[in-house]
Amino acid sequence: MKICVAGDGAWGTALALTLLHNGHRVVVWGAFPDYLDEMRTTRENYRFLPGVRLPDTLEFSSDMSVALADADMVLLSTPTQYLRPVLKQICGNFAPDSVFVNVAKGIEVGSWKRISEIVADEIGRVTFVDLSGPSHAEEVSRNVPTAVVAASEDINAAETVQSVFMNEFFRVYTSDDVTGVELGGAIKNVMAIAAGIIDGMGLGDNSKAAMMTRGIAEMSRLGEALGGKRSTFSGLSGIGDLIVTCTSGHSRNRHVGEELGRGRQLDAIIKSMNMAVAEGVATARGAYELARQVKVDTPIIDEVYNVIYNNSSAVAAVRSLMNRKARQEND
C-alpha cells in the first residue's frame, strides 16, 4: 500500500517506521516545510523522536495533495485540538476507498466530540478505524514488543488495518467498539495526570495503585454511559493504556501531573515541553463536561479538572478524594 501519515510527531513517525518495515510506501505530511526538509536531510525527527534513524525510503511532503495522491490509507496522527484544519486540507484530496486510521487520543474542546465524530463532521462518512493501546512511540520505533487494538464499525476494515500493521514486534487485535476504544484512549490521559500528581507529591505506591484501580472503574462507568462497551475498558485501550501511561517515564501526561504535584504552574510546564502535546490537559475539561451531560460520578476526573482549571492544590484534591462518603467497591 501507499500510506499517508498526516502528522510528523513522535507517534506518526514511529508508526511510519512500522509500516516501512512491513513493506509499504509511506509519505509523512507535516505543516512546516522547513522542518520536513531537516528530517529529509538529517534522517532524524530530532524534536519528537530523537536518536531514531529514519530510513532513506521514508518520504516527506508539506503538500497534502501530493502526500495523498494514490494513497490507500490515511494515518491521522495530528493532536485532537489541531485536527479539524488538517481534515479540511484532506477533504477532496483522498480516494473514495481510502481507509482512515486514527492514532490520536483526545476529546475536542468545546464540541466535546471524539475523533471519529470530528472526522465525520469534516469529510463525511469514510472507512474509519481507531488504532489504540499501550504503545509509546519511543519503544515502538525501536521494535519493542507491543500490542494494540484496531476498532471499527466495519470489522473488515479493522482486519485490514490488523494485517497492514501487524508483524513480529507489533501485535494488533480487532474490536467493533469505536466509542469505547476512543474514550479509553482519551480518558486514561486524565488518569495519567492524576498518577503524575501522586508521584510529584511523593505519596508512594499505595496511593498510585488505588488511583489506577478506581480510575479504571471511573473510565468504565463514564465510557459505558457514553455508549462504549464496559468490556473494552478491561482491554488494551482501557486498563492496558492506563497502566503504561500512569507508570512510564515516556508519558507526557504523567509528566504534567508530576510537575503539578511539585507545585509548578501549568503554563510554565507546557512551555517547557518543547512543542510536545499532553492531550490529557484538554481532555480533562472534555471528560468533566461529558460526565455532567450523562450524570455520571467521576471524582478523579473532577479533581484533576479542579487542579488544572480552578487552581485547586494537589493536597486539596487528595484530601477531597480520601474524605468522600463510604461506599461498596462495586457500587
Report yes or no on 200 lying in a domain. Answer: yes
Q: Are residues 279 and 149 in the same domain?
A: no
Output DSSP code: residue 239. Answer: I
pLDDT at site 162:
98
Boundary-marking domain end, from 120, 150, 176: 176
Are 72 and 96 in contact by the 8 Å Cβ rule? The answer is no
Q: How many CA atoms lie within 13 A of 94 on its CB side?
A: 28
**Same domain, yes or no: 194 and 144:** no
Which of residues 176, 197, 220 is at a domain's end?
176
Residues near 89 by Cβ (< 8 Å), separated by ≥ 6?
64
Question: Cα separations (Å) of 159 from 77, 129, 166, 182?
Answer: 20, 10, 10, 18
Q: Which residues form the domain of 292?
A: 179-322
User: Domain for residue 243, yes or no?
Assistant: yes
Angstrom distances, CA of residue 119 to CA of 60, 102, 237 = 23, 9, 20
At 235, is the secondary structure helix, strand, or coil?
A: coil
DSSP 8-state secondary structure symbol assigned to residue 43: S
User: Do 67 and 16 touch, CB atoms closer than 8 A?
Assistant: no
Would you state the pLDDT for residue 330? 85
> Is 204 within the bounds of a domain?
yes
Query: Cβ distance 141 to 135 under 8 Å?
Result: no
| Identified catalytic residue from 105, 188, 208, 229 | 188
Shared domain for 207 and 170, answered yes or no, is no
Cβ atoms within 10 A of the Cβ of 217, count?
A: 15
- Annotated active-site residue 188? The verdict is yes
Q: Are residues 192 and 163 in the same domain?
A: no
Q: Is 193 left (phi over 0), alpha (psi -120 to 50) or beta?
A: alpha
Using DSSP bridges, classify how beta strands 99-102 and 127-132 pair: parallel, antiparallel or unpaired: parallel
Together in a domain, 157 and 199:
no
Whether residue 267 is found in the same domain as residue 156: no
Biggest CA pair distance of the chain: 60
Q: What is the pLDDT of residue 277?
A: 75
pTM score, two decimals?
0.95
What Å distances lie between residue 126 and 41, 209, 311, CA to CA? Answer: 35, 40, 41
Give a yes or no: residue 109 inside a domain: yes
pLDDT value, residue 276: 67
Residues 199 and 292 in one domain: yes
Into how many domains does the chain fold?
2
Asked if residue 22 and residue 132 are part of one domain, the reply reads: yes
**Exposure string for 267-294, b = 16+ CB within 10 A, e = fewer:** eebeeeeeeebbbbbbbbbbbbebbeee
Q: Tell whether 222 is covered by a domain.
A: yes
Straight-line distance from the first to the last Cα atom of the chain, in angstroms, rounded to the nearest whole number: 49
What is the domain-level CATH number for residue 71? 3.40.50.720
Q: pLDDT tens digits, the chain, 331 residues: what are they?
A: 999 999 999 999 999 999 999 999 999 999 999 999 999 999 999 999 999 999 999 999 999 999 999 999 999 999 999 999 999 999 999 999 999 999 999 999 999 999 999 999 999 999 999 999 999 999 999 999 999 999 999 999 999 999 999 999 999 999 999 999 999 999 999 999 999 999 999 999 999 999 999 999 999 999 999 999 999 999 999 999 999 999 999 999 999 999 999 999 999 999 898 766 788 999 999 999 999 999 999 999 999 999 999 999 999 999 999 999 999 998 7
Name which of 190, 182, 187 is nearest 308 in CA terms. 190
Within-domain flag for 105: yes
Of 176, 206, 222, which closes a domain?
Answer: 176
Query: In angstroms, what CA-CA distances link 102 with 4, 60, 87, 166?
Result: 12, 19, 12, 16
Q: Determine the Cα–Cα distance for residues 292 and 307; give it in Å rounded to an integer.
A: 18
Q: Do 166 and 223 fall into the same domain?
A: no
Whether residue 327 is contained in a domain is answered as no
- Does residue 127 share a domain with residue 233? no
298/245 same-domain check = yes
User: What CATH number corresponds to the domain at position 267?
Assistant: 1.10.1040.10
- Are residues 216 and 189 located together in one domain of the fold? yes
Within a domain: residue 330? Answer: no
